[in-house]
Structure 1
Amino acid sequence: MMRFRPLWCLLAGMAGAVFVGGTAGPVAGVAAAGALWLVIGRAEPPSVRRRREQTRADLPHVVGLLASALRAGAATGEAVGVVCEALPGAAGDRLAPVAARLALGVDPIRVWEQLAADDALGPLGRALARAQATGAPVVRSVERLAEDLAAGARAEVEDRARAVGVKAALPLGLCLLPAFVLIGIVPLVAGMLGTVGL
């Protein structure tokens, strides 16, 4: 969409001008082109959406591995680096700058607050920022978050599995209804018409 944005806007402007017509046509064309320019500019590319969804899908595994590394005695920055190396992919790529900033000695609260603004890794950032700010045990906070994320992931999978049955009902009904009519109803009606003598 972004590559052909001027073309789409030109076509929308022409369509708006032709549709409205008269002296208001050019104004409507400019309004339609401007509106489409804004809509396309705000649209999220599919690759960005896929990476965010992949990061959200990986988040329970990332947090679980981070909890294990922290439980084993690793420092927070070191544990994040271990997680980034162990789980390459979208989540690891987003966590790599966090590990680098922690290794450089940046204030951990600021680092975790910045991660809290991330749309996919926000829960991890909020939990660690809260633990760092309040002095609560980081390991327990991460373990609790891992449990919550795992339960949420299980619930989401179960919801999707239930939705399959609902989505399959209409196609199956459309496939089975003609067979039911041809095998069950037509012979019954033909038999009844045969007994009546028509």
Structure 2
Amino acid sequence: MIAAAIAHVRSGGTVAQAFGLGGMRVTVARLSPIVEAWRSPEESGETARYVAIGIVAACRLSEELGCAAARCLQTVAAAYRRVRLAETRRRQAFAVPQATSVLLSVLPVGTVALGELMGLRPLSFLLGTDRGLGCLALGGCCYAIGLLWNRALLRGMMANIGMLNRDVGGISADGGVVPWLTLIIAMLDVALRQGSSIPRALAVVGRICGGGIGLGMVRAGEALLRGASWHDAWVVQRADRSAGEAFDLICTALEPSWTRGDMSSARLEAVVDRLDAEERAAIEQAASRLSVRLLMPSGLCFLPAFVFVGIVPSIISFAV
């Protein structure tokens, strides 16, 4: 969808026309249903909304600085591809722990079914005797606790990993959540390539993106225009607990350009690559930690459930 819009804009059309909005202004409210309609089944509604917000931000950047709309949309497409790749990595990394969790959850029930097929009649012991009911109660409790424990581990890891480039600020000027950090950095690169000064680029991109990072960028740009040193312009932003790391990345990447006049593009691209590498490493580390943590519910819950519900009834039924 974004590629088609880029092609339409390059052929002389407008972004609004590319998305079927005619002469209307491109806003998140108008664009979100269109992006949602193009969303693939494996994508979340949140991702679709982030794409819509990114497209609107790209349009604002093009309008305010005169940047080529196609170039601005390319930054959105690149950020979207990175997020999709991160989601794919996350699914692949967590596939083995999830499969292990499913296998452990069906093991007690599968053992009982196998015992019935072999003629051991474990169900008769479990449901027809006091000792069997006791085993069933103990095994059922262990099984239920193990399921809840497993789901909590999986849900927590899946929710917190692979999302480093999202949720980096508050609310943008158009009423949407600030887009990915990689997109903010790419938009900053586009603004500087267009010929904007660093204070102007920081102010415009920050105002468009909004939120905590956007406000910090605007303040840094204003401080530079007032004659503050590079360090003084960023000292407050870098002390921010919620977004200090993002400001560190931006400040470090742009400092040589401000102090020595170096080109900033290569350094900003390196920041994006670093974010991708950190995200990939975080996903791999989280999958490894999850595999280890799954041993706890396996040993403390599923193994006792397997013994109480599967092994003990089969042995007693066979002995009797």
TM bucket, shorter chain: 0.5 to 0.7
The 8 Å contact of residues 67 and 146 in structure 1, kept in 2 or not, is answered as: no
1: distance between equivalents of 2:266 and 2:319?
Answer: 77
Q: Structure 1 residue 99: deviation in Å?
A: 1.7
Q: TM-score, normalised by structure 2?
A: 0.37
1:136 matched to 2:258? The reply is no
Question: Could you say which residue in structure 1 is the equivalent of 2:105?
Answer: none
Q: State the AA in 2 paired with 1:187.
A: P
Q: Structure 1 residue 64: deviation in Å?
A: 2.6
Q: TM-score, normalised by structure 1?
A: 0.55
Alignment gaps of 5+ in structure 1:
1-52
Rg larger for: 1
Higher helix share: 1
The 8 Å contact of residues 223 and 233 in structure 2, kept in 1 or not, is answered as: no
Q: Structure 1 residue 180: deviation in Å?
A: 0.9
Question: Could you say which residue in structure 2 is the equivalent of 1:34?
Answer: none
1:156 matched to 2:282? The reply is yes
Question: Could you say which residue in structure 2 is the equivalent of 1:80?
Answer: 202
Q: State the AA in 2 paired with 1:91.
A: I
Question: Alpha carbons of 1:116 and 1:147: their partners in 2 closer, same or farther (altered >3 Å)?
Answer: farther
Q: How does 1:43-192 map to 2 (within 5 A)?
A: 54=168, 59-107=181-229, 109-110=230-231, 114=235, 118=239, 119-120=244-245, 121-191=247-317
- Post-superposition Cα deviations, 1:8-30, rounded to whole Å, max 9, x if no partner, equal xxxxxxxxxxxxxxxxxxxxxxx
Question: Alpha carbons of 1:153 and 1:71: their partners in 2 closer, same or farther (altered >3 Å)?
Answer: farther
Q: Pick 1 or 2: higher relative contact order, CA cutoff 8 A, min separation 6.
A: 2
Question: Alpha carbons of 1:150 and 1:65: their partners in 2 closer, same or farther (altered >3 Å)?
Answer: farther
Q: State the AA in 2 paired with 1:68.
A: V
2: distance between equivalents of 1:140 and 1:163?
Answer: 34
Question: SS at the partner of 2:294?
Answer: helix
Q: Percent identity?
A: 26
2: distance between equivalents of 1:152 and 1:65?
Answer: 21
Q: State the AA in 2 paired with 1:78.
A: R
Question: Alpha carbons of 1:133 and 1:100: their partners in 2 closer, same or farther (altered >3 Å)?
Answer: closer
Q: State the AA in 2 paired with 1:164.
A: L
Alignment gaps of 5+ in structure 2:
1-166, 170-178
Question: SS at the partner of 2:214?
Answer: helix
